[in-house]
Copies of this chain bind each other. A is one copy, B any other.
Amino acid sequence: MADLNLQTHVAHFTNPLYLESGRIIEPYDIIYETYGVMNEDKSNVIVVAHALTGSHHAAGTYEDESKPGWWDGLIGSSKAIDTDKFFVICTNVIGSCFGSTGPMSLQRGSSEHYRYKFPVVTIKDMVKAQRILFDQLGIHKVHAIVGGSMGGMQALQFAVHYPNFAKKIVSLASTYATQPWAIAFNKVAQESILNDAEFKHGYYKSEDLSENGLNGMAVGRMAGHISFLSHESMNRKFGREYKRDDGLYELFGKFQVESYLEYNGKNFTKWFDPLAYLYITKAINIYDLSRGFDSLDEALARLKSELYLVSFSGDLLFQPQEMQVLKDRLDEQAYMACDYLEVESDYGHDAFLVELEKFDTYIRSALEE
């Protein structure tokens, strides 16, 4: 069994990144991890794209970590995305907070953070920045792009805008355009951040937040966690169990589900930046494959990659019927290279991160020549 060969790199770009809005980011960094070894003709590259709060750290475990990267069960030697065969790249998206340029980066030639001066970025912008990085690495075509949730949006956006770039596109737990249900949850999180006095209208000091985090973001994240789960997974995980049995006597007794939300909300604020949350949820909200085209059909008419769509039956955030829309449109266009799998799951949206055993075989065979 070959080593994962986990490497972290930062690429620095001095040319401006022209954004969909007409604005630019200049200069900018992209941090990324690679796993496995690139073959000589660079034909074994797989791009993995992360979700809202994910990062370039998709697999492997650093010395100071207790948990591995977010898709470690899928990426590695002999795993579905087999690093014995493939050279895997995962970049942190533009606008995020793990090393790629985002709203808390310093403005050019200044010691000031961008904060709200950072331009709105879109999924298309995230993809474009990756494409420029890959070009610089001499990678002009890849074997596949794989991602879930916002990562699945990136995979689809790649397919539409760079139709010759990826042979295979695997998009999980995602959609062709963000629907109001998802926008609504993002709205609650955004407003909760904005309403926290400690957010200081965007002029918080990161150091001040590093200890206790931003409660407003914790509350917003709690709402997010509701959208990642399902009635079934909540019932199974929590039911009506009390963590402390003080229901009748104290106003703030704790059901297990409340403890779960509290813990995850609070913990989240220790490792994610509030402005990055605002910018990335914005990118998700305005994601729409048809933007710039007369219709979704026109956008999809550009496709050349093999498309593998995976949805999860219990996903309330990006519902199976949204993927079905894509499949139906492509069927109407007699596009043969699209395969669609709806995975039976009652884990909700989280399934793409936790029920790997239900789709890793599917991904493995999708990636086969």
Give residues in A with beta carbon < 8 Å to B: 20-21, 116, 120, 122, 177-181, 183-185, 187-188, 190-192, 195-197, 215-216, 218-219, 222-223, 225-226, 229, 231, 234-235, 237-240, 247-253, 255-258, 261-262, 265, 278-279, 282, 285-286, 288, 316, 319
Contact = CB atoms under 8 A, between A and B. Distances in A.
A255 B288 CA distance: 13
A20 to B, nearest CB: 6
A285 B255 contact: yes
A346 to B, nearest CB: 13
13 contacts: A21-B249, A120-B247, A179-B235, A179-B240, A180-B234, A180-B256, A180-B257, A188-B226, A191-B215, A191-B219, A240-B288, A248-B286, A251-B279
A280 B237 CA distance: 25
Contact of A120 (B218, B237, B251, B258): B251
Contacts of A216: 195
Contacts of A256: 180
B251 A282 contact: yes
Contact of A250 (B120, B181, B229, B249): B120
Contacts of A251: 116, 120, 278-279, 282
List 3 tightest A-B contacts by C-beta distance, closest first.
A180-B257, A180-B234, A197-B197
Contacts of A181: 226, 231, 234
Contacts of A237: 180
A226 B286 contact: no
A286 B247 contact: yes
A229 B222 CA distance: 19
Main secondary structure of the interface of A (DSSP, over half): helix
A184 B122 contact: no
B188 A248 contact: no
A240 B178 contact: yes
A231 B184 CA distance: 11
B231 A261 contact: no
B234 A120 contact: no
Contacts of A247: 120, 285-286
Contact of A257 (B21, B187, B286): B187
Contacts of A183: 240, 255, 257-258
Contacts of A197: 197
A195 B180 contact: no
Contact of A286 (B122, B222, B253): B253
Contact of A226 (B185, B261, B278, B285): B185
A237 B179 CA distance: 12
Contacts of A215: 191, 195
Contacts of A192: 192, 195, 219
A288 to B, nearest CB: 7
A154 to B, nearest CB: 18
A258 B187 contact: yes
Given A21-B249, A240-B288, A250-B120, A255 B180 contact: yes
Given A120-B249, A181-B234, A188-B188, 13 more contacts: A20-B248, A21-B249, A116-B251, A120-B250, A179-B234, A179-B235, A184-B257, A187-B262, A188-B226, A190-B252, A191-B265, A195-B216, A219-B219
Given A183-B255, A286-B253, A21 B248 contact: yes
A114 to B, nearest CB: 11
A284 to B, nearest CB: 12
A120 B229 CA distance: 29
